Amino acid sequence: MGIGTFGSFTQARLAIYASQTGLRVTGNNISNVNTLGYTRQRLDQKSLYNAGADRYYSTTGVKVGQGVLCYGLSQLRDPYLDIQYRSKTAEVGAMDALLEGLNRIAGVLDEVGKGGETSEGKEFGIIHSQFREIFKALSNLNGNTGHNEYDVQVKSACQTLTNFLQSYSRGLEEQYNNTVQMFERNVDKVNTLLTNIRNLNENIRQADIFGDDALEMRDERNLLIDELSEYIKIDVSYSMEKVGVGAEVEKLTIKLDDANPDASVHTDETVLIDGIYSSQLSIDAVLNKKAYKYVEADGTLTNNEARAELVRAKDENGNYVKINDDGSMTIVNNEADASLVPKKNADYDTTGANDGLLYMKADGKTATASYTEAAHDPNFNITVSELTDRNGRVLYTIGKPTRTEITEADFIASGGKATATVNPADDVVTITTYIKELSDEIIRNPLWNKGSTTAYPYLTASGTGTNDPQQAAKVYQYNPNFGKSPNDDDWDPNAPQDGNSRYIKVDQTTMQPTNQGTNDYNEAWIPKANNAYDANDTTGYRYIKYASKDKDPATLTAADYTNDLDEARGAPTYYKEVYEKVPSSKVKLDDNDLYGKLQSQRELLTEAGEFSSQDTVNNVDENALKKRGIPYYQKSLDLLAHTFATEMNKANQGYLTNPNREIVTQVWDPAGGTSKTGGMTTQAITLPGDYTLKTSDMLGPKEWDMTKVPDVTKQWLSDNGYVNDDGEPDVIAYLNSTQTVKNLDGTEYKDADGNSVEITAGTFRGGNLFSNNGDTNDDDPPITAGNISISLDWASGPLIVNSFICPTGFTEPASSDSDNIVQNFISLGYKSLEFHPDTVPYDGVENVRHEAMFTGKLEDMWLNMGTVLGNDTMIAAKSLDNAYNSQVSIDTSRDSVSGVDFNDEAMNLTMYAKAYNAACRLMTTIDSVLDKLINNTGLTT
Amino acid sequence: MIPRMTVTGSLRGYRYNLQRSTYTLNKSITTVMTGRAFNSFAEDPATAAQSFTLRRAYLRTSAQHSLNEDTVRKYDVAFSSVTSVEKVIDTDPDAEGSAYFAILRALNDPDASGRNALGQSITAHANDLVQFMNGRYGDNFVFAGADALNVPLTWEPTTNPDYAPDSIAAFKYLKADGTGTNDAAEANIVAQLNPNYDAAVTDPADPAYGQYLLPDGTGTNDAAQAATVPQENPQYDVKVTAPYLTSNGEPTDDQFSAGRSLFYRGVNVASNDPSDLEKLDYISKGEKKYVDIGLGYDMNGGKVESSSVYNIALQAVNFLGGYGLEERTVTLPERKNENGETIPAQTFTFNDIPKNIVAITDEIGTILQRCSPDNGDFASTEDEARFNALVESFEESSYRIKDRYTELTTQSQFLQNNQKQLESNAYTINEQIQSIDYVDPAAAISDFIFAKYCYDTALKVGNSILNQSLMDYMNFA
């Protein structure tokens, strides 16, 4: 069909409209050139053309399009660039957070360029130079041994070091706490982003349903997704979702992007947003173990018995038992015969004051019912909540049904009603429906004659036969006694005894009159009987009963025929269909499921590098030994402080020896002394088995290397009760024991009054220089950077043991002998020490590796911390630089697709303006032409 | 395909690059201001670690230098003291004022009249020697080995080597049970024996008559009639009863009347007692006081390697010729006495001649002071012989001291050389630190200027980052 006479006006009008819309789109693009996240829009046009040929279309006719149609607006966006950008943004977020954290640690630990002016110069570091100050003071003490002021100098230098160590420890603790707060805020931020994206999804969905492209909301959503990708590496996908009546709308799904290198782990693909459903992240809290009754299969504590892992029952003696109905137990021989019972939590305790409070506070002692008051899980594990919509309704996913055939009896028993059960263990709803499926096989009566006059018991109003009394003509039954009284002569005793009823009531089942009256004529009729009806004429039946289908047709009687379709149909089949409606559930993320800012901050809070427990390496993160966060530096500092204090304490304790470094005891030498009046002297201690006690066999002030002790000596120690707390023979126990003074010849010395004199076997000297508390001399709990203090005894006065060596014939070391200072204190400045990660125990961290993490001098350990930190920081900085560079490059590429460019828009302006002008010209031309046609055609002057 | 450059894309690129220019400029400004090549471990971890290691070496060297300097000063004091000692004991016969000069005078003085005075002078020299060796550096006694808080050399009253107050010889009387007592009242009472008893005398008037004495002092053989007295201890020996000896070797209870002996750190230096010798052996040879003065401190078998540290224990006995006693034999030549009688040559052997020069000098002084104030003669021939033996010992002791003096000189020289070495080391380490930690100012300033140039250029580019577009040339009029 060609265009009508005035159709060309429409063509021009559409062109004007299209150009005008194009100008508006261009204007919108120009207006939003500075709008963050704005995606350039484009007007979608197409040529208007009525498709199909006219039936009587002339082959000589020409079909022309009818103008232009604007059918939508598109955003110019490249999804692949979005994926690249978001992936790189996650990397930028990860490296940025890591670098920021490391820089904060460096703010505490990095001493490059620090350290004020000293006599030796400047920038020697703080802790680093303080170690040297200590060794310098020790050197001075060595040169001036015996003068208390030099002991005080060492003490002052050590006091300063302990202050620095404590200060640095507090600094790291502060950074840890700050990072915890930032981590919490960022988890909240992610949750806000997820909620906002979910809400936008809902709005866009609504708009989609109503046919609105909602481009601006999509831009806003893209911005939020970009922002989310900085915190978590995500996988964004779009799919179409049916919304009924054949309509489909776009659905956005955001999942974690498979960050976990362990291919067997799938929690790293957890769905965060599924259309209008979204999840929330939460940091796991420390649970109050006493408040949970059961344990789930994955070790999670629970009070839901249904969720508990089922285990075989045992009695209190560990025998497998079967639990009888009356609650009694019977011991069984086979594990398989034992009853299955929910696994109980061994820590469950109702007697404590914490009963019922599910969480523990940060003090580790107080329970609380509030999650917000609870302490964070030390590993800061993240749990992704179930997916819920705006109203908190959980997303359920209905799976495909499984169909099984059932018996008719089962079907009848079910009543054909669907059932739904909820499994309390996982809240999965199981829906069961029962189906009766009729057979398609129907046996028709080949002799059926619709017009038969004898085959039907009733007659319709039109006189045809019928089997259905309802379709038959109605014969109303009048009551002969109506209007009469029983006294009347014509009172019919067989009719209803009711003069007020016009009709006789008919039993609607038997269709026979009763002896009751009624005024409702609907109750008072019987079908009109076919008087020609022959009960043996079966041509009135449409079907042969299915039960009689195999009978010889010649033997069929009326009883074998039916007009009931169901009786003619084959046997129905009964089915049961089971659906599972699975609710979205919480997902406990694995240690490496995340990547991005959140994970970097989490690792800053949790990673302890070489201090990680073997359990962590085995079960949580196989790369844990290589990852270093704040705990690594805290523990390194603790280890340094602990090793320093322990070595200094060890150096300052021991027993007096002779010049051969054999531990001595005091004996009476009547010929000794300076005046030949006799006196005490010393003698090396030799125990049975000719074992001479040497300081080289000492492992520490309180420990002896028993592997060097002969068996005979061990036996003697044991026999004489010189044993340690474990009942094992112990040389130290002997050295600390009380003995009577002997003469040189081994006989017992008696004083002038004839009494024995008692002394300790060895003469112990010194004590702890450092303690875990300035008010005591205790070094247990272990000394750490946070608690290292000058011991009470040292604070009270000089304590450094200058020498343990008594010169030959003397019972005390020489007044300025500094053997111990040179051998055991100054040597610490040169000695290579092994730093074992398991040296300092921490609550809840078991099975830490013993293998030395570093071997070197005390100051080297300090430098090592700085070097490790420097290397990690340098790598993070370079990675961030690269990632940021790439991100900027990709973002620019995105802009090259989605950004507004003035030249382009100027071209569009020109193009649409010209098109507009041309359309107007077209309108004018058509007007002019039609004017000629209408007003001037055929007129003659 | 050429990428489509958009307004926002251009601005982003500019912002990014301007940010980098600003960062580079700030970094170069920091470098110029601090002069440091790096300001954190992260900028150059390996070099930062190296820098700290060098700084530690520098601080260690500095401490060693300080200790070495202190040691040098101590050795200066020691050297001065030993030089004084050396002057006193100088065996040059012409060294006036020395102890040896006085000794030679006492030995060779023809009339010997000055021996008493010389004795006093020599005793004073002995005191001087003790005083020199008891000198202090700071609060420490220089020659006290590892016992620098206590005065090393002391004069103690000469003890009686035979003193045995618990032995039977220490009691005048015997009790009835045979044990000794000095209380007459506790003693066993016996008849008084006649000290003049001669069994051959029969005349009662003769003082030799009778085993016993009657109360009137006449003799009797009847013990029952005899006067009674506490039973005397025949083993009684007054030598074992006195704790001290006078300078003449007489036992005495009074320590102020006693002679004197030189003690080093509580041990008699002129003793042959094995216990004393064992102590002095350890002190003089075994005792060490090590200091770390940059000799490569090292541990071996859990003990510090002696060659890697320096022993600063100076033992006075080692600088005073030693300790203990020695045997010397002296022969006095034949000569005439004052009566013109020929006295044959006599040989004396002494096994208790001290080796320590102070003990020797002091004893020489004592012997000379015992000489006759009238004619200067020695109190006895034995004194004369002992004097000669002591002079021999003095000379030998003096030689030993000279060896030690030389040794001390060498040690002082070593310490001074070490001082220079440590200074040199510190200088070298400091040079290395400078080269590692700090930038070359010229390079830093060049870098800064270039960074500033880049930054300024970036700013200029910023003015035209948004070029004119087609918009600016559109005209629909």
Whole-angstrom Cα distance, residue A904 to residue B471?
9
What is the crossing angle of helices A79-109 and A148-209, to 10°?
160
Averaged confidence pLDDT in chain A:
90
Q: What is this structure's pTM?
A: 0.82
Whole-angstrom Cα distance, residue A44 to residue A22?
9
Assign residue A392 a region: left if phi > 0, alpha if psi is -120 to 50, beta otherwise?
A: left
- Which residue from A139, A895, A900 is facing B12, i.e. has the nearest CB? A895
Q: Does residue A917 have a pLDDT over 60?
A: yes
Q: Confidence band (pLDDT; 50, 70, 90) for A587?
A: very high
Count of Cβ atoms closer than 10 Å to residue A745 Cβ: 8
SS3 content of chain B, % helix, strand, coil (to 5): 50, 15, 35
Which residues are CB-contacts of B411 (< 8 A; sequence separation ≥ 6)?
A: B75
Higher pLDDT, A585 or A273: A273
Q: What are the beta bridge partners of residue A403?
A: A577
CA distance B205 to chain A (A): 52
- Chain A residues lying within 8 Å of B297, measured CB to CB: 826-827, 830
Q: Does residue A1 have a pLDDT over 50?
A: no
Whole-angstrom Cα distance, residue A674 to residue B280?
12
> How many Cα atoms occupy the beta-carbon half-sphere of A351 within 13 Å?
1
Q: Report ipTM for this prediction.
A: 0.86
Contact B275 A826 (CB under 8 A): no
Higher pLDDT, A155 or B202: A155
Q: Does residue A6 have a pLDDT over 80?
A: no
- Which residue from A110, A129, A910 is facing B41, i.e. has the nearest CB? A110
pLDDT, mean of residues A910-929 = 91
Q: What are the beta bridge partners of residue A421?
A: A430
pLDDT at A674: 43
Q: Does residue A2 have a pLDDT over 60?
A: no
pLDDT, mean of residues A71-82 = 90
Q: Does residue A790 have a pLDDT over 80?
A: yes
Per residue in A107-127, pLDDT (tens digit) is 999 998 888 766 667 778 899
Select from A155, A2, A92 the least CA-distant residue to A885: A92
pLDDT at A176: 95
Per residue in A180-202, pLDDT (tens digit) is 999 999 999 999 999 999 999 99
pLDDT at A426: 80
Mutate to test the interface with A, among B267, B275, B431 (most CBs of A within 10 A): B275
pLDDT at A378: 86
- Chain A residues lying within 8 Å of B156, measured CB to CB: 674
- Chain B residues lying within 8 Å of A809, measured CB to CB: 267, 275, 278-279, 282
Contact B4 A672 (CB under 8 A): no
pLDDT at A348: 86
Whole-angstrom Cα distance, residue B237 to residue A4?
167
* pLDDT > 70 fraction of chain A, expressed in percent and rounded: 96
Whole-angstrom Cα distance, residue A159 to residue A139?
17
- Which residue from A112, A900, A905 is facing B41, i.e. has the nearest CB? A112
Higher pLDDT, A299 or B44: B44
Asked if A602 and A380 count as a contact pair (C-beta separation under 8 A), the reply is yes
CA distance A620 to chain B (A): 29
Asked if B98 and B90 count as a contact pair (C-beta separation under 8 A), the reply is yes
Q: Confidence band (pLDDT; 50, 70, 90) for A353?
A: low
Per residue in B298-340, pLDDT (tens digit) is 988 888 999 999 999 999 999 999 999 999 999 999 988 778 8
Whole-angstrom Cα distance, residue B300 to residue A266?
57
For residue A755 the two structure tokens come to 């009494």
For residue A918 the two structure tokens come to 């041309």
Q: Does residue A3 have a pLDDT over 80?
A: no
For residue B96 the two structure tokens come to 């006036």
Whole-angstrom Cα distance, residue A608 to residue A272?
29
Task: Identify the closest residue of chain B to A126 by CA–CA distance.
Answer: B52
DSSP string, A337-364: GSPEEEPBPTT--SSSTTTT--EE-TTS
| Amino acid identity, position A814 | A
Per residue in A362-372, pLDDT (tens digit) is 888 888 888 88
- Chain A residues lying within 8 Å of B476, measured CB to CB: 913
pLDDT at B389: 95
Contact A674 B266 (CB under 8 A): yes
Asked if residue A457 has a cis previous peptide bond (ω within 30° of 0), the answer is no
What count of CB pairs under 8 Å joins A to B? 252
Per residue in A500-525, pLDDT (tens digit) is 889 999 988 888 888 888 999 888 99
* pLDDT > 90 fraction of chain A, expressed in percent and rounded: 57
- Which residue from A869, A877, A895 is facing B9, i.e. has the nearest CB? A895
Per residue in B432-441, pLDDT (tens digit) is 998 998 999 9
Whole-angstrom Cα distance, residue A176 to residue A157?
28
Domain ranges of chain A: 7-76+911-936, 396-411+419-443+568-583, 448-536, 655-817
State the DSSP H helix or E strand holding residue A908, giving kind and residue range, or none if neither: helix A902-931
Whole-angstrom Cα distance, residue A390 to residue A127?
55
Which residues are CB-contacts of A105 (< 8 A; sequence separation ≥ 6)?
A: A172, A175, A630, A633, A869
Which residues are CB-contacts of B226 (< 8 A; sequence separation ≥ 6)?
A: B191, B192, B212, B213, B214, B220
- Chain A residues lying within 8 Å of B55, measured CB to CB: 123-125, 128-129
pLDDT, mean of residues A309-316 = 90
Per residue in A415-473, pLDDT (tens digit) is 989 999 998 878 889 999 999 988 888 888 888 888 888 888 889 988 888 888 888 99
CA distance A810 to chain B (A): 8
Averaged confidence pLDDT in chain B:
90
Whole-angstrom Cα distance, residue A129 to residue B44?
20
Contact A906 B471 (CB under 8 A): yes
- Chain A residues lying within 8 Å of B149, measured CB to CB: 146-147, 815-816
pLDDT at B111: 66
Q: Quick one: DSSP state of residue A65?
A: -
pLDDT at A198: 96
Q: Does residue A354 have a pLDDT over 60?
A: no
Q: Does residue A499 have a pLDDT over 80?
A: yes
Q: Confidence band (pLDDT; 50, 70, 90) for A673?
A: very low
Whole-angstrom Cα distance, residue A249 to residue A913?
35
- Which residue from A808, A867, A907 is facing B279, i.e. has the nearest CB? A808
Whole-angstrom Cα distance, residue A612 to residue A870?
21
What domains appear along chain B, each with residue ranges and CATH number?
57-152+265-428 (1.20.1330.10), 164-241 (no CATH)
For residue A679 the two structure tokens come to 């006196």
- CA triple A660-A664-A667, angle to 5 deg: 130
